[in-house]
Amino acid sequence: MSRLAGDPICLVTMTGARSGKRRTLPLMYVPYQEGVLLVASQGGAPHNPVWYKNLIKHPEIVVEVNGKQRKLHAELLQEEARGVAWKVAVEHYAPYAEYQQRTLREIPVFYCRPE
């Protein structure tokens, strides 16, 4: 499984912030530099998705794209770095801009890079 409704997805294995259990979730991603961007948009919902807290507490993840697994470190981008990555994300998937308009929160962007 590498696409959902025509858009690229990856499988992200992460550790639960509260449970400590490993979970694998299908998430949209944006190829970026040596890794991927994960955008915590949740379609513009007022709150961050549950997996946001997982990456904050346990940033060491495994991302599978097209059957290839990579160990990556998720970094929550801030300020200028977030702005640059956000533009790339919107170019890759235009609805992100609409999602940002739906919510008062700044949609978080994680850069997941090789360890």
CATH number of the domain bearing residue 60: 2.30.110.10
- Model pLDDT, residue 8: 81
Full residue range of the structural domain in which residue 42 is found: 3-114
Q: Position of tokens 């097209």?
A: 66
**Is 0.85 surpassed by the pTM of this model?**
yes
- Model pLDDT, residue 115: 83
Identity (one letter) of the amino acid at 99? Y
pLDDT tens readout for residues 6-57: 678 999 999 999 999 999 999 999 999 999 999 999 999 999 999 999 999 9
The Cα 71–Cα 19 span in angstroms is: 21
What domain count does the chain have? Answer: 1
Instruction: Work out the average pLDDT over 61-80.
Output: 96
Q: Give the 3-state secondary structure of 1-26.
A: CCEECCEEEEEEEEECCCCCCEEEEE
